[in-house]
Structure 1
């Protein structure tokens, strides 16, 4: 059994897994019980989308809508459970608090979305006569934030293991007669499959909507295509280090890219970071302290002279950091002569 008073990182992670399981079951139970409780008062299909004209412009069967929300919640909760089970970084209080806040927000968003949709369709007879949605949008936005705040507070108790101070690591001996170059590329299969599935779905939905078999389907084409583009961009990241600069490129076309001149760099090191630490996948953080996250694990972290940081998930980060540090040291040595 889990010791409720065990304050070690393993004890906190065990309790966190129990809390995630309880929260997952509770949200799933609500998502199933509410539509079943009002099944005899809901039209079939029911309105599930409202356009700019304020009236409903999309519908779905109650069962399909329920399964859609449950499926989305299962994916979110499953990712959260895996991250909690494998995440040593959850020993840090701030990471644990934001992790719990995100999971609480996601569950609240699913439940409030369902509640607003069912309330708008209740006793309406037909989905086209569903109630207009206006102020209810604020409920969908605000209520999950309030739950996220409670989740943040719930994640704070327990140990706060400080992050280890970064070590510069080894240096590379540079041959004055040669031009050193280091290149490393990392791919994320999940993003590639997401891009492929989203783009394929966009094409299928567009084709079905074109022949009038899926009224309102055009509204789903743009989000699916956008998800495909984002997945393509997040499918790979490449880092190139030369004596003048460090260049980071994303996507199979190596675009967009960012070039950081080494005169702006103080030092670099390799460090393990995970999506739950930085707020998810993609470009996370703020200008001056950003992370390009396409998979958890080894990252190349570059600290600017100004104090900001840029972290990139890339393979063989220790070698890249060693070359950056050697080039920075050589630049400083040349400047001091």
Structure 2
């Protein structure tokens, strides 16, 4: 059996196994569950919302079906399984999504088990972290499980390396950036929510507010950190900065770069958003589209999603050539 049908068989078996567990476990425990079930908990940890047994079951299975459909969409192309980045993205999504949904269902059933009614369901506070942990662990295992096998490069048309003409002694600087409005909105919403809850915790005696505020603050900071990337090209090299405060940053010296070019790259092609790939073959993916791709003498590449990448590549190639001539 070739790698493609084997990978699809394993992925299909995982989807079927998770679906079977999501359906079978509640049915086995149905006689020990109240009707309706507690399905929502407030910031205090007490249940404050309920659904009928079948509505809750269909919601959980439907959520898993949506996750599986998104993962399958990334593998629509017949040769997609042959690219390690796409396999890893699909594997991480299936593993993490399955772990998250299963953990949520498990906590819901445990909180409702043998209770006289949904108002008497157990509290959920720190237990929510178990769902997050299951998602992270499942995603990591899915990523690792999808790693073995072929990794065929994407077919790309030969690209002529652009080069800008510089007058003797001329110093030129090129700067550009790209941002992801969704990540910006997530970061701002997280920080605003954290501030509101932190202030509320000073006057309202509700348990869990400070913990939730801290969680939202972490989400906000991470969202803003990955929302924007800025690139500066000069005779000092390439400086890549992240976030609205341009921190953290990374500098690439001219001597460590062989050439540069502009290229179209998209999240599904490289495995998602953020820093994708491995050292030597990575992409800083803030938004799909135009990228500045720098190539190292070792053959490795780093792509950065920024606007006007062609002019940045042309200047960088001119500076590299000027340095070589001087040497």
What is the TM-score when the length of structure 1 is the normalising length?
0.69
Do the aligned partners of residues 115 and 72 (structure 1) sit closer, same or farther apart at CA in structure 2, a change above 3 Å counting?
Answer: closer
Do the aligned partners of residues 149 and 98 (structure 1) sit closer, same or farther apart at CA in structure 2, a change above 3 Å counting?
Answer: closer
- What's the offset of the Cα at 1:222? 1.5
Provide the C-alpha distance between the structure 2 equivalents of 1:236 and 1:204, rounded to a whole number of angstroms. 25
Q: 1:102: which partner in 2?
A: 92
Question: Number of residues paired by the alignment?
Answer: 305
Q: Which of 110, 124, 142 matches 1:148?
A: 142
Q: 1:41: which partner in 2?
A: 32
1:123 correspondence with 2:114: yes
- Higher mean C-alpha displacement, 180-189 vs 35-44: 35-44
Instruction: Supply the RMSD in Å over aligned alpha carbons.
Output: 4.6
For structure 1, which runs of at least 5 residues remain unmatched after alignment? 1-6, 50-56
- What's the offset of the Cα at 1:33? 8.8
- What's the offset of the Cα at 1:102? 2.6
Provide the C-alpha distance between the structure 2 equivalents of 1:276 and 1:242, rounded to a whole number of angstroms. 31
Q: Is the 8 A contact 1:104 1:147 kept in 2?
A: no
- What's the offset of the Cα at 1:46? 7.3
- What's the offset of the Cα at 1:239? 0.8
SS of aligned partner of 2:114: coil
Spell out, residue by residue over 1:107-150, the C-alpha distance to the aligned partner (whole angstroms, 9 max, x if none). 312332134314533225654589x98xx98x947994698379
- What's the offset of the Cα at 1:328? 0.8
1:93 correspondence with 2:80: no
Q: Is the 8 A contact 1:80 1:103 kept in 2?
A: yes
Do the aligned partners of residues 228 and 81 (structure 1) sit closer, same or farther apart at CA in structure 2, a change above 3 Å counting?
Answer: farther
Q: 1:225: which partner in 2?
A: 217
Q: 1:206: which partner in 2?
A: 198
- What's the offset of the Cα at 1:270? 1.8
Q: Is the 8 A contact 1:104 1:151 kept in 2?
A: no
Do the aligned partners of residues 176 and 201 (structure 1) sit closer, same or farther apart at CA in structure 2, a change above 3 Å counting?
Answer: same
Q: Which of 161, 169, 173 matches 1:169?
A: 161
Q: Is the 8 A contact 1:249 1:256 kept in 2?
A: yes
Do the aligned partners of residues 288 and 99 (structure 1) sit closer, same or farther apart at CA in structure 2, a change above 3 Å counting?
Answer: closer
Q: 2:282: which partner in 1?
A: 290
For structure 2, which runs of at least 5 residues remain unmatched after alignment? none
Q: Is the 8 A contact 1:187 1:235 kept in 2?
A: yes
SS of aligned partner of 2:307: coil
Q: Which of 279, 296, 312 matches 2:271?
A: 279
Q: Which of 323, 331, 337 matches 2:323?
A: 331
